[in-house]
Structure 1
């Protein structure tokens, strides 16, 4: 999902170019290939039950639905020149439906397991707790792309209202979890090591809500009566700016913790990918506000955030490839590392 948002965010930028869009299409194709390979590899391991029983690993069940949703939306945003409009639309519907179903299951099941089976110490809360509840917000934002393609009338209205309901589900749940994470940060020792990047997931949850508000307001007139459609535009602007402000506060906190930990030594771990999607959500959220307000400040901030996103993605991808080569390729003696 991190690689996918690097591609999709290009389409939302207020300032872009044909070369950048072409590069984004290549990145989207890479994300689609990675999705297939990783999904097949994970299913072949047959570790679903054991991961569900682990109170930490279970939190990351939210990642596959978001990956499906991100790649599916990329089919509409970037894939049409390559695979045709009808095929792109079909891929987007299938991946959105599958990702939404899995995301809703995750958003309900993982909190249930946390309440009934998992046991936690008072300082257990971490950014990963947001992962199960964020997918419905991603469904809301990506579902907005499909609203104009749904049959006019009740079907289109149901899709729009369903997306708003999923936005509410994910956003309220995320705010509850953020409160628990903040309480853990204040009342216990600051996180260290590989846990620190997960603090950035809060940025992604908040940024995704702003993105969804803007995307749904843009398509609401095709399904809602005029007064209510106008209300969604007001909600997207005022609510979006307010939540964006809180997003920047959480980003400042996450940045401070990251810098503090980096000085002491921040070892590479798969949690480094928690840097990518949140920064991408900042790009799409800021771009949505730029488009709605006409503010040059948001224009340039969106471009700046995208520059940071690309740098972070290159760094994390490079470390990931070296990590994979070190652990998967045989050493000169013929042994696996």
Structure 2
């Protein structure tokens, strides 16, 4: 590509064209990405020294981010409510706040912080309810408002339908901390139902993303990082299958374990294929100019779900190569978090300097 072409590419990819540089719901991906860094570290098959303490600190940072963003976004939303409902690029990211809340709940349980179970239960109720709303409302608006065109952030279309899968995983993790009885059984049934709902919807959207890429290419550079979001439902479904099997009643444990392995292995293959494509497309976009957007946080949470999914599969099969893969994916997650956090800090400094 010529220098003029690169300039045109960067201009076409200006973040304003996506409507996502404002203080929208997409910024809750910072909580998701930071929180999953903690849960992924705690999921690793390898017992590394100091991991629990470091993960707890990271989880605390995620909690602080959630508090700050919730207050700031609530104030901002009063003036710009319609913007984030009527702009398709922004509206699809309404799935981020519920997932951010549930990521905090999962981290509380895994880190074993004081009051973890009631905190996780509250996070699950809020996140699952919000996630079910986005999973219905945003696709409905997509179908009735003509939002089905090529678009600028194709992977973002998955954001509204992934929260029920996150709810399935966090709910199963919560169920494992509850005593046997009717509430636990009903929670697991609800989680399994949300697993199916999200899996079906995500499969449809992933097919649309692939078709869109084949027909129209990756689009502008700013939207390319959102392609990593496809890894989210894949990795999260592996994680949910593992956690549902772990929390299954004793008389179903053997069947649930086999089902979790039989599901996770082929999905892992699909995830690694998409990871290779997303990485190649991202490197291609980076050569021509990759402007910062909150979409850079897609380098974190989706990869984190792969870490937890592969770690669970490794534990069930006793596979040393899978354990090594989980560690390698965690290293990729850590790099992605550094890139996204560094880009965010640089953008904040630039924005603050320009405002002075």
TM-score range, shorter chain: over 0.9
Stretches of structure 2 lacking an aligned partner (at least 5 in a row): 1-31
- From 52, 61, 75, the equivalent of 1:21 is 52
Query: Aligned-residue CA RMSD in angstroms?
Result: 1.5
Count residues with an aligned counterpart: 323
Residue pairs, 1:214-293, within 5 angstroms: 214-221=242-249, 226=251, 228-293=252-317
2:35 matched to which residue of 1?
Answer: 4
**Residues 1-49 of structure 1 deviation map (CA, whole Å, 9 limit, x = unaligned):** 1000001111110013241221111110000000010011000112333
Q: What is the TM-score when the length of structure 1 is the normalising length? A: 0.92
Query: SS of the counterpart of 2:312?
Result: helix
Contact 2:245/2:253, CA 8 A, preserved across alignment: yes
- From 281, 288, 294, the equivalent of 2:318 is 294
- From 304, 307, 311, the equivalent of 2:331 is 307
Query: SS of the counterpart of 1:266?
Result: coil
Q: What is the TM-score when the length of structure 2 is the normalising length? A: 0.87
Structure-1 separation of matches of 2:332 and 2:180? 40
Structure-1 separation of matches of 2:342 and 2:263? 37
Residue pairs, 1:1-337, within 5 angstroms: 1-45=32-76, 46=78, 47-80=80-113, 84=114, 87-122=115-150, 126-221=154-249, 226=251, 228-328=252-352, 330=353, 336=355
Structure-1 separation of matches of 2:273 and 2:98? 27
Shift in Å, 1:121: 2.6
Q: Which runs of 4+ in 1 moved over 6 A?
A: none
Contact 1:123/1:188, CA 8 A, preserved across alignment: no
Shift in Å, 1:149: 3.4
Structure-2 separation of matches of 1:263 and 1:234? 44
Shift in Å, 1:150: 3.5
Structure-1 separation of matches of 2:217 and 2:58? 39
**Residues 204-263 of structure 1 deviation map (CA, whole Å, 9 limit, x = unaligned):** 1101000100011011025xxx1x332211110011101111111111111111111111
Structure 2 CA distance for partners of 1:211 and 1:44, relative to 1, 3 Å: same
Stretches of structure 1 lacking an aligned partner (at least 5 in a row): none
Shift in Å, 1:201: 0.4
2:22 matched to which residue of 1?
Answer: none
Higher relative contact order (CA 8 A, sep 6+): 2
Moved more, 12-21 or 292-301: 12-21
